[in-house]
Amino acid sequence: MITNKSNISEYRLSKAIKSYKTKEVNLSGASEIAGMPYREFMEKLDIKNVSLNMNTMPIEYGLSSIKKSLKKKK
């Protein structure tokens, strides 16, 4: 049984990281499970060498739109 605050925090962090790695939750949801701010959770992921689950599609779409827009101006 988990009894002290430190163990509870570690358990929540561990659960949050596991849920994030298996893509059950996004970054925001995982930070909520961990009970810490978004950026602090990101720092914990970095310390534990966990890669961010980032989808590049929105970035690629944005770049494509910019390129099309620039071509039209010529």
pLDDT tens-place string over residues 10-51: 999 999 999 999 999 999 999 999 999 989 999 999 999 998
- Say if CB 26 and CB 48 are below 8 A apart: no
What integer is the mean pLDDT of 42-61? 83
Joined together, the tokens standing for residue 31 give 């930070």
Beta-carbon contacts of residue 52 (< 8 Å; ≥ 6 apart) = 27, 42, 45
- Identify the domain containing residue 67 by its residue range: 5-73
> SS3 for 3?
coil
Total number of domains constituting the chain: 1
